[in-house]
Amino acid sequence: MKILPAIDLIDGKCVRLYQGDFNKTTQVGSDPETQLSTFIKDGAEIVHIVDLDGARNGEARQYDLIRKLCSQSSIPIQVGGGIRNLETIKNLVEAGASRLVLGTAAIEDEDFLKEALAKYSNHIVIGIDAKDGKVATRGWETVSEVDYIEFAKKMESLGVETIVFTDISRDGTMTGPNLVALENLLKAVNCKIVASGGIKDNSDLIALREIGIKEAIVGKAIYEGTVTLKGGPQ
């Protein structure tokens, strides 16, 4: 099991949201650069960074900070939030980001998605953020009528190889991941599925591994010390 520690950014600070609610924001950890160094020192193989300002407002607002983090990192960086045009993709790839998570743009602009996959297929990951089984967009503040399974199948048909799945109702709650939704997704597509949302401790990581998940994004549980990068499930 590969753990991706999460650094969520608002206004240059590391924060955690509760169930995707921007009104329930808690500052966590150190400053982003120190936090990244700590994760690397603790053995992280890849780090997940989200520009929450960008996710909410539709443009990569913390590009300079993310570029600085990528430049100081000795491990791959996965970046999400506000990636909705090819210029942003180009800038982030040139900044050193290894994976780019497209969410809102993937559901709202299929032509952009196809062009992104054609030009940057090795970097593109699709983020499926769901609430009650429906795909949410724009920093999770808008819930569509699109079923997450059907959307995943469509993404696979377009050539997507990796999907990050987040159950919004579990995110930041430490109540455990939605194993049923993840298992259904694993059965529906052949993409690699990265689990996100609700992970509270190593038992959750073991449960994810047992259903076939090989990567998981962990946020609050790492900051609270209930999941550690050192000595976790392999």
Question: 8, 51, 171, 204: which is the annotated catalytic residue?
Answer: 8
Read off the tokens for 24.
């329930």
Alpha-carbon distance 70 to 95, whole Å?
6
Q: Which residue, among 108, 115, 66, has the nearest Cα to 87 in the 3D structure?
A: 115
160, 8, 55, 178: CA torsion to nearest 10:
60
Determine the 3-state secondary structure of 8 from DSSP: strand
Residue 64 designated active-site: no
Pairing relation of β-strands 99-102 and 21-27?
Answer: unpaired
Asked if 132 is an active-site residue, the reply is: no
How many whole angstroms separate alpha carbon 77 and alpha carbon 70? 6
Catalytic option among 53, 129, 171, 204: 129
Nearest partner of 76 among 11, 143, 162, judged by Cα? 162
The separation between CA 149 and the C-alpha centre of its own chain, rounded to angstroms, equals 18
Which positions are catalytic?
Answer: 8, 129
